[in-house]
Structure 1
Amino acid sequence: MASQQPIGVLGAGSWGTALAILIARNGHPVWLWSHSAQQAADIAQQRENARYLPGIDLPDTIDVTADLPSLVRNTRDLVIAVPSHAFHNTLVALRRHAEGPLRVCWGTKGFEPNSGRLPSAVFHEVLTTHGTVPAVISGPSFANEVALGFPTALTVGCEDDAATQQFTDWFRNERVRVYTSTDLVGIQLGGAIKNVMAIATGICDGLGLGANARAALITRALAEMTRFGIALGGQAKTFSGLTGVGDLLLTATDDQSRNRRLGMGLGAGGSITKLIKEIGQEIEGINTARVLYEKSRELGIQMPISEQVYRVIFDDLDPASAVTTLLGRAPREETD
C-alpha cells in the first residue's frame, strides 16, 4: 500500500512533470515544485503543464507549488529533475531547509557546467553529511511517452538495498519495468555522453549521409562512451544496458530528442543560436560536449566523435569537414 507521505518532485519541466505523473499514478501523493511562482500557478490552475507536456492531465493527487521550504518540511522523499546547471543550487536549498535525512533520487543528466562534475559528486559535497540516501534514475525514456503511460524500462542506481526498494516502488507499475544497479557513476556517464552522440547522429542525418553512416556512428559512439566511462570509474556492463546503449539508441534515432534535433539542424546548415531558440528547452549535450573534450584531453582518452561535435559547436567547424576528419582517421583494431 502506498505511503501517504508526499513525494516531492523538484523541477516542473517535461521530465519532472512526467515523473510526477508516474509517481502519482502509482498511488503516491506528489508535490511538484517549480522555481517559478507563475509557472506553478499556471500548472495548478490548468491541471496540465501546457508548455512542456500539453494535453496531458495531472492526476488529482499532484499539488503544484513554488514554496520549497514548505515542501521540504512535509516530506523527506524527493526526486530532482532540474537541468544540470541548477542541480547544485537545488541541493543547497534542500540543505538549508531540510530538518533531517532525506531520500533523494535524481533524473538530472549531464555535468555541472563550471566544474565538470557528475551530479553524484555535487551531491556528496553538499548533502552527504546530512545522512541523505542518494539514487539516480535513468534509461531510455522520453518524458511525453512516460506521461502517456507507454511501456518503458528504467534503471534505479543506489548503493543502499533498503532504499533501492523504496525508490523502485515510486516508479514501477504494469507499464514501467524498473531494474536496479549500484553503478551510479556508469549510469550517470551513460546518460550524459549519449546526448553528445545524439548530436553527432543528428549531424550525420542532417547531412543526408544515409543509414550505413548512422549505424556505424552509433556503434562507434557506444565504444567511445564505454571507453570514457570505464576510465572514470563506471562498470563496462552498465554501458551495454538500458542507461548506456539503450539510452543512446533512443536519443540518437528519434526526433523527440532535443540533442538529435540540434544535430540535424547543424547538419542542414542551421545557426546554433537560432536552433537553440527554436528548440526552446535545455540541450544538455552542448555543455557535455565541452566537458568531454576537456576531460578526454586531460586524461588522454581518445574521443574522436565527441571532439568533432565539440569543434562543430564551439569552433564553428563545418559539419561536413568533421565527417571527413572522422573517416580519414588511421585504421585501428575495432575492439581497442
Structure 2
Amino acid sequence: MRTAVLGAGSWGTTFAKVIGDAGHPVTLWARRPEVAAEITTSRTNRAYLGDIALPKTVDATADIAEALAGASVVVLAVPAQTLRENLSEWKAHLAADVVLVSLMKGIEVTTGERMTEVVSEAAGVPAERIAVVSGPNLALEIAQGQPTATVVASVDPHTAETVAELCANTYFRPYTNTDVVGVELGGAIKNVIALAVGIADGQGLGDNSKASIITRGLAETTRLALAMGASIHTLSGLAGLGDLVATCASPLSRNRSFGALLGQGLTVAEAEARSNRTVEGVKSSGAVLALGAAHGVELPITQAVVGVLTGRVGVDELAELLLARKRKAEGPQR
C-alpha cells in the first residue's frame, strides 16, 4: 500500500512520520521545493519539527503528480479553507479507488460543511472511502514519539480499520469509530473553545476560570453535535473531551496561544502576524456559530469569541459576558 500525505506542515509531516514508523512507505508533498529537498536530503523539517529525524520510509516531493502516482491512500493536511480549491486541482491525479483521509479540524466558512463533506464533493469520492483522524494529537509530542491515542472515523468500518492499521505503531494508538459527525465537530469546535481559554490565560485569569470555560465549552460542543446527529459517547471520548483538554491546556496549541495574544491586548491582525501559522479556530468560529443558529443551539462561548474576533466585544468583557448569562440548573433535575 502506497500512501501520500499532502501538506508538509507540522501535522502533515508528523503523520507521515507516524506512517513511516509503522513500516509503510509514504510520500510527503510539500508546496515549497526547498522543504521537500530538506526532507529528502537531511531527513528533517526544521521549520516545524526542529531536528527530529524522519524515517527512511518517508520521502518528499514538490510535484503533486509524483506524490499521487500509485497512491491508494491520500492523507490531506492542508488548511481547511483551502481544501476545496486544492482538491479541484488534485482530483485528476487521484486513483479511481483511492481512500482519502482528513487531518483537518475546521468548518468550511462559505458552506458550513465539515471537512469530509468538502472532500466528498470536491474529489467526487463517496463517504465510504473517506476517513478522518482526530483526537488529542499535538504534533510535536507525537513526532517526539510520546505515547498518543487517536480516533479514525469513517461511515465504513472497513475504511476506518484500513487507515488505523496504516498508522498504528509503537507510540501511536488509533481507535476506530463510525460517528464521523461527532469526531469532526469535536475537533473543529474545540479550537474555538481553546481561543476562549487562551484569552482568559492572556488576561491572567486562573485555573478556575479556564476550567469553567473548558467544561461549559464541552457542553455547548455536545449540544450542537447531538443536534447534528452525533453520539454522546464520541464527545466524551478521545475526539471530544480528550482533544478539548489537550488543545486548551497545552502551550503547543496554536489556538490557545493565539487566544493568549488577544488576551494580552494584541489585535487579531497583530496576533496573526506574531503566529505566522494557520489558526483554524479563527477561520471556523463564525461558521460554527452559524451551524448553531441553523440547528437552534445556543453557543455562548463561541458567540463571545466571534464577538472578540470581529471587534464587537473587548477581551476584557469576555468573562463578564459569559457570567452574565441567566442562571439555570446544570443538568436534569429530579
Q: Same fold (TM over 0.5)?
A: yes
Residue in 2 aligned with 1:163?
Answer: 159
Look up the equivalent residue of 1:226 and give its one-letter code: T
Look up the equivalent residue of 2:254 and give its one-letter code: R
Q: 1:190 to 1:203 in 2, by over 3 A?
A: same
> Is 1:11 paired with 2:4?
no
Q: Is the 8 A contact 2:102 2:116 kept in 1?
A: no
Map 1:104-123 onto structure 2 (within 5 A). 104-123=100-119
Look up the equivalent residue of 1:304 and give its one-letter code: P
2:307 equivalent among 298, 311, 318: 311
> Is 1:142 paired with 2:161?
no
Cα deviation, residue 111, structure 1: 1.1
Residue in 1 aligned with 2:173?
Answer: 177
Q: 1:161 to 1:293 in 2, by over 3 A?
A: closer
> Is 1:290 paired with 2:268?
no
Q: 1:197 to 1:131 in 2, by over 3 A?
A: closer
2:217 equivalent among 216, 221, 228: 221
Which stretch of structure 1 is more off in the superposition, 103-112 or 161-170?
161-170
Cα deviation, residue 70, structure 1: 2.2
Residue in 2 aligned with 1:70?
Answer: 66
Look up the equivalent residue of 1:146 and give its one-letter code: I
Structure 1: 4+ residue segments shifted above 6 A: none
Cα deviation, residue 60, structure 1: 1.3
Q: Is the 8 A contact 1:34 1:66 kept in 2?
A: yes
- In structure 2, distance between residues paired with 1:335 and 1:251: 25
Q: Is the 8 A contact 1:262 1:275 kept in 2?
A: yes
Cα deviation, residue 271, structure 1: 2.1
CA RMSD of aligned residues (A): 1.7
Look up the equivalent residue of 1:195 and give its one-letter code: N
Cα deviation, residue 298, structure 1: 3.4
SS in 2 for 1:51: helix
Look up the equivalent residue of 1:104 and give its one-letter code: L
Look up the equivalent residue of 1:254 and give its one-letter code: S
Cα deviation, residue 125, structure 1: 1.4
SS in 1 for 2:197: helix
Q: Is the 8 A contact 2:128 2:155 kept in 1?
A: no
Q: Is the 8 A contact 1:158 1:181 kept in 2?
A: yes
Residue in 2 aligned with 1:151?
Answer: 147
- In structure 1, distance between residues paired with 2:293 and 2:153: 28
Residue in 1 aligned with 2:207?
Answer: 211
Cα deviation, residue 255, structure 1: 0.7
Deviations 1:4-58 (A, max 9, x none): x321111100000000011001100110001223332233333211111111111
- In structure 1, distance between residues paired with 2:127 and 2:313: 47
- In structure 2, distance between residues paired with 1:96 and 1:291: 29
> Is 1:93 paired with 2:111?
no
Q: Taking structure 1 as the reference length, what is the TM-score of the superposition? A: 0.94
Look up the equivalent residue of 2:25 and give its one-letter code: P
- In structure 1, distance between residues paired with 2:159 and 2:215: 35
Q: 1:278 to 1:7 in 2, by over 3 A?
A: same
Deviations 1:139-192 (A, max 9, x none): 001111111110000000012233222211111122122111001111000000
Which stretch of structure 1 is more off in the superposition, 144-153 or 52-61?
52-61
Cα deviation, residue 304, structure 1: 0.5
Residue in 1 aligned with 2:322?
Answer: 326
Cα deviation, residue 259, structure 1: 0.5
Q: 1:25 to 1:326 in 2, by over 3 A?
A: same
Cα deviation, residue 241, structure 1: 0.5
Which stretch of structure 1 is more off in the superposition, 142-151 or 64-73?
64-73
Q: Is the 8 A contact 2:128 2:156 kept in 1?
A: no
Residue in 2 aligned with 1:37?
Answer: 33
Which stretch of structure 1 is more off in the superposition, 112-121 or 249-258?
112-121
Q: Is the 8 A contact 2:81 2:109 kept in 1?
A: yes
- In structure 2, distance between residues paired with 1:215 and 1:72: 44
Look up the equivalent residue of 1:242 and give its one-letter code: L
Residue in 1 aligned with 2:56?
Answer: 60
Which stretch of structure 1 is more off in the superposition, 96-105 or 122-131?
122-131
